[in-house]
Amino acid sequence: MEKILIANRGEIALRVMRSAREMGIKTVAVFSEADRNALHVRYADEAVCIGPAPSAQSYLLGEKIIDACLKTGAQGIHPGYGFLSENAAFARQVKAAGLILIGPSPEAMEIMGNKLSAKAAALTYNIPMVPGTEEAVTDIDEAQNRAIEIGFPILIKAAAGGGGKGMRIVEKASDFIEQMDLAVSEATSAFGDGSVFIERYVSSPRHIEIQVLGDNYGNIVHLFERDCSVQRRHQKVIEEAPSSVLSEELRQKMGESAVNAARSCNYTGAGTVEFILDENLDFFFLEMNTRLQVEHPVTEMITGIDLVKEQIRVARGEPLSFTQSDLKIQGHAIELRVYAEDPANNFLPDIGNLQTYITPKGPGIRVDDGFEQGMDIPIYYDPMIAKLVSYGKDRTEAIERMIRAIDEYQITGIQTTLGFGKFIMQHEAFISGNFDTHFVSKYFVPEHLLIQEDEEEAMVAALIGATFMESYSNTKSININPVHSQWKNNRKE
């Protein structure tokens, strides 16, 4: 492959192009009319407009993307995450056009694209599962009996769902039938597939996922875990590697299960196996994501492996250049997703113009972003502005660097989740590692951000006050507002 097309936008398109460029591979960007001036378009060697702003008319149109490949002579397609990245039908079309998809086979995507077939595949390797039904629920009375056997609360899940979509907790037997009916109709309208199944509800889990990498010669390795327990309504906020709760023994067990899950569908390329971990440190397979994940940088930081390069090498038919025993965890990495959202206003998307945009720099900081000062954040796509990643010799240093980087980050014109990230980094539960997937709902109220701001402003005011006092000691009113609001601007207006 001498030229690849990146079927994505924003930070991930840029990130993929950077690795391709290091490998001497030419890059082709595709873009919608809203992204004409985007950084990924400027960075690429060539760029092709594929349609109007809405993704259904551009980034989701497989045919246009394949046409752009044929027109530019790109031999491979990197789909990034989201959009067409887990679309088995697209993967087949790419193959049929004589092109290479930088990702797993359509068959692997299909198996793992459905939670029930994923569980069935994983079961062949005795991977731990939450007790539940192995098939779609068809007979409601039978299902209710099964639920009583399992014990309440139980969780109803849509087989075609993912990322928490189509899930329902049922607290007691008397609610079961009503909740089932709702779940089936929800799944039907959301996914065009009403199949649902049930599982025991693990009430306070950690979300642990394992990065895997497979080649075309049956070699599969894992690159340890990422702890993604800090999330809000199934949107991840913080991801870190390694997890502060895994022993070396548990890490090895989960890694082995993840490799087996990958093996169960002959997985090739980069993938992620999702588990939940309960308070007894028992782990259970949930699903497998057949793409490069948003949070892959934390794994890159602790392993020194460039996952995108490995994806490209595997797609070129090369064997993995390392074995499991070559891999070691070195240090600690944390990622904060910086969203254009207003944490003080129920995380409402806050799109607009990036009037100030200055990223943090220095030791142990990586910023994966796709914007520049002065750019507008389009309303059409995901509101993530950047991934702020800190790396340190240990978790404490990674946290300290993250806080320092959040303080350096200057964004005005829109509200962001930077202050929210700082709140998490400074929270006792996060620092001690004693948290679960309910961290945000348990501890966060918007007032925390106001307090955080007030404290900082008070500190600045005190400092400036002291300086001003010396030279203006006879002046009655001192207007420190310009400096005051400058500080405020450093986080969110």
Piece of the chain touching ligand MV4 by CB under 6 A; list 35-43, 79-87, 194-202, 411-419: 194-202
**Nearest distance from C-beta of residue 321 to ligand MV4, angstroms:** 31
Compose the 149-188 pattern: x for residues touching ligand MV4 by CB under 6 A, - for all others: ------x-------xx------------------------
Q: Does 290 bind ligand MV4 (CB under 6 A)?
A: no
Strand 348-349, strand 341-342: pairing: antiparallel
**Nearest distance from C-beta of residue 199 to ligand MV4, angstroms:** 4
Handedness of CA 349, 353, 356, 362 (dihedral sign): positive
- Of 199, 310, 342, 369, which one interacts with ligand MV4 (CB under 6 A)? 199
What is the rounded CA–CA span in Å between residue 194 and residue 101? Answer: 30
**Nearest distance from C-beta of residue 288 to ligand MV4, angstroms:** 10
Piece of the chain touching ligand MV4 by CB under 6 A; list 49-57, 76-84, 197-205, 357-365: 197-205
Instruction: Evaluate whether 268 touches 215 at the Cβ level (below 8 Å).
Output: yes
The set of residues, in sequence order, having a beta carbon less than 8 Å from that of 448 and lying 6+ positions away, is 423
Q: How many residues does the chain have?
A: 493
What is the rounded CA–CA span in Å between residue 127 and residue 115? Answer: 14
**Nearest distance from C-beta of residue 273 to ligand MV4, angstroms:** 11
The set of residues, in sequence order, having a beta carbon less than 8 Å from that of 492 and lying 6+ positions away, is 342, 343, 344, 411, 415, 416, 418, 419, 449
User: How many other CB atoms are there within 10 angstroms of residue 280's CB atom?
Assistant: 6
- Identify the CA nearest to 154 among candidates 206, 199, 220, 99: 199
- Of 11, 274, 300, 341, which one interacts with ligand MV4 (CB under 6 A)? 274
What is the rounded CA–CA span in Å between residue 141 and residue 146? Answer: 9
Task: Give the DSSP letter of residue 172.
Answer: S
Instruction: Evaluate whether 129 touches 284 at the Cβ level (below 8 Å).
Output: yes
Instruction: Evaluate whether 115 touches 157 at the Cβ level (below 8 Å).
Output: yes
Q: Does 277 bind ligand MV4 (CB under 6 A)?
A: no
Q: Does 341 bind ligand MV4 (CB under 6 A)?
A: no
Q: Which is nearer to ligand MV4, 132 or 194 (CB)?
A: 132
- Identify the CA nearest to 454 among candidates 483, 482, 484: 484
**Nearest distance from C-beta of residue 286 to ligand MV4, angstroms:** 5
**Nearest distance from C-beta of residue 341 to ligand MV4, angstroms:** 18
Q: What are phi and psi of 289, to 5 degrees?
A: -100, 125
* Cα-based torsion angle of the residue sequence 462, 466, 471, 473 in order, rounded to the nearest 10 degrees: 80
Piece of the chain touching ligand MV4 by CB under 6 A; list 19-27, 38-46, 81-89, 202-210: 202-210
Query: DSSP per residue over 70-131, as a string?
Result: HHHT--EEE--SSTTTT-HHHHHHHHHTT-EESS--HHHHHHHHSHHHHHHHHHTTT--B-S
Q: Which is nearer to ligand MV4, 205 or 343 (CB)?
A: 205
What residues numbered 100-139 form the site for ligand MV4, per CB under 6 A?
A: 130
From residue 161, give the alpha-carbon distance in Å to each of 122, 166, 252, 258, 323: 18, 6, 29, 20, 34
Instruction: Evaluate whether 315 touches 1 at the Cβ level (below 8 Å).
Output: yes
Of all residues in the shown chain, the one whose CB is closest to ligand MV4 is 207
Q: Which is nearer to ligand MV4, 390 or 437 (CB)?
A: 437
Task: Please count the residues of this chain forming the interface with ligand MV4, following the rule CB under 6 A.
Answer: 17
What residues numbered 430-449 form the site for ligand MV4, per CB under 6 A?
A: 437
Q: Which is nearer to ligand MV4, 76 or 205 (CB)?
A: 205
**Nearest distance from C-beta of residue 224 to ligand MV4, angstroms:** 18
What is the rounded CA–CA span in Å between residue 309 and residue 120? Answer: 31
Q: Does 289 bind ligand MV4 (CB under 6 A)?
A: no
Q: Which is nearer to ligand MV4, 54 or 433 (CB)?
A: 433
* Token representation of residue 431: 């620092």
What residues numbered 205-224 form the site for ligand MV4, per CB under 6 A?
A: 205, 207
Q: Does 332 bind ligand MV4 (CB under 6 A)?
A: no
Compose the 225-244 pattern: x for residues touching ligand MV4 by CB under 6 A, - for all others: ------x--x----------
What is the rounded CA–CA span in Å between residue 294 and residue 339? Answer: 13
Q: Which is nearer to ligand MV4, 208 or 340 (CB)?
A: 208
**Nearest distance from C-beta of residue 243 to ligand MV4, angstroms:** 13
Q: Which is nearer to ligand MV4, 90 or 197 (CB)?
A: 197
Q: Does 258 bind ligand MV4 (CB under 6 A)?
A: no
Instruction: Evaluate whether 231 touches 333 at the Cβ level (below 8 Å).
Output: no
The set of residues, in sequence order, having a beta carbon less than 8 Å from that of 85 and lying 6+ positions away, is 8, 79, 103, 290, 291, 292
- The single residue of 232, 251, 291, 491 carrying the catalytic annotation is 291
- Of 101, 109, 276, 414, which one interacts with ligand MV4 (CB under 6 A)? 276
Q: Which is nearer to ligand MV4, 100 or 160 (CB)?
A: 160
**Annotated catalytic, 291?**
yes
Q: Does 340 bind ligand MV4 (CB under 6 A)?
A: no
Catalytic residue set: 291
Point out which residues bind ligand MV4 (CB under 6 A): 130, 155, 163-164, 199-202, 205, 207, 231, 234, 274, 276, 286-287, 437
